[in-house]
Structure 1
Amino acid sequence: MSARTLQDFQQQVSELLLRHRSLLDVVTKFGQANASVNRAVSKAITECGCIELNARHQGFSEDLPLDEAMRQSKSHMAGELCENCKDAISTELGKNMFYMSALGNLLDISLEEVVAKESDKCSTLGLFNMT
């Protein structure tokens, strides 16, 4: 089975989305789905404990060479997601993508074009793509 493209997925969402055709419904469901992703990640830390968070100041300075800044940069995370947490977060990311696709459909925005444009921007700006 070949991988679905974003265009295929967006079309599938268009065919399945019957109840939430209102832009306000989709925008609020998208926000709710995003919050659910954040909640699932938080639960991996606070309830399961498979990952830990230890956030500290990154300590960048203007005279720090770029390669050193890249080595110094940390994710603040330790550990790996267990299968249960990975599955929960993947499920929430899927819902998030569903509503992102629905939003793109309602606004006539192709997610493939969005990804291509952002990829071009990343390629052009490289490390200076600080968005």
Structure 2
Amino acid sequence: MKDVIFDDFQNAVQESLLRHKSILDILSKFQESNARVNRAVAKAVTNCGCVKISADKQCLPEEDDSIDVLDKCLKSHLEGELCEGCREIIERELGNNIFYLTSLCNSLDLNLYDILIKEYDRINTLGKFTFR
């Protein structure tokens, strides 16, 4: 059932894409949408202040420590919660990003759901050993 939602979304994107059919347009719009997501997060910090970035050097465990220690040691550097306004903006920008990602998949005749499943299987198989 879940693959139907992905397929329906992928088909809807294909039908709604009019101006940016060229792969070059899609690539540049995808890159622009990535930048807009980054900017929206930065604005949540600098304009709104609902979230704060408190970054310092990541601690790295000793060589003989287990990989589980990394999970406890490494931090996101993010504090606070998005306010409703910032959440809406970031969700909208992420939606645009997903739209252009899907457009890229369509242009290259790739199935978004298949990509998601393959990545999900890779994560489940390798777990923390994917080192991302």
- TM-score, length of structure 1 as denominator length: 0.93
Alignment-mate amino acid for residue 66 of structure 2? P
What is the alpha-carbon distance in structure 2 between the residues aligned to residue 117 and residue 14 of structure 1?
22
Which ranges of structure 2 fall in alignment gaps of 5 or more residues?
Answer: none
Which deviations, in whole Å up to 9, do the C-alpha atoms of 1:7-49 show, x marking residues without a partner? Answer: 1111000000111110000000000001000000000001100
| Runs of 4 or more consecutive aligned structure 1 residues displaced over 6 Å after TM superposition | none
Indicate the residue corresponding to 2:51 in structure 1: 51
Indicate the residue corresponding to 2:96 in structure 1: 95
Deviation at residue 66 of structure 1 after TM alignment: 2.6
What is the alpha-carbon distance in structure 1 between the residues aligned to residue 67 and residue 131 of structure 2?
14
- TM-score, length of structure 2 as denominator length: 0.92
Aligned-residue sequence identity (percent) comes to: 47
Q: Does the Cα contact within 8 Å between 2:40 and 2:86 map onto a contact in 1? A: yes
Indicate the residue corresponding to 1:60 in structure 2: 60
What is the alpha-carbon distance in structure 2 between the residues aligned to residue 105 and residue 32 of structure 1?
18
Deviation at residue 102 of structure 1 after TM alignment: 0.5
Counterpart secondary structure, 2:18? coil
In the alignment, is residue 16 of structure 1 matched against residue 26 of structure 2? no
Which ranges of structure 1 fall in alignment gaps of 5 or more residues?
Answer: none
Deviation at residue 128 of structure 1 after TM alignment: 0.6
Indicate the residue corresponding to 1:113 in structure 2: 114
Output aligned runs, 1:68-79, within 5 Å.
68-79=69-80
What is the alpha-carbon distance in structure 1 between the residues aligned to residue 58 and residue 75 of structure 2?
7
Q: Does the Cα contact within 8 Å between 2:67 and 2:128 map onto a contact in 1? A: no
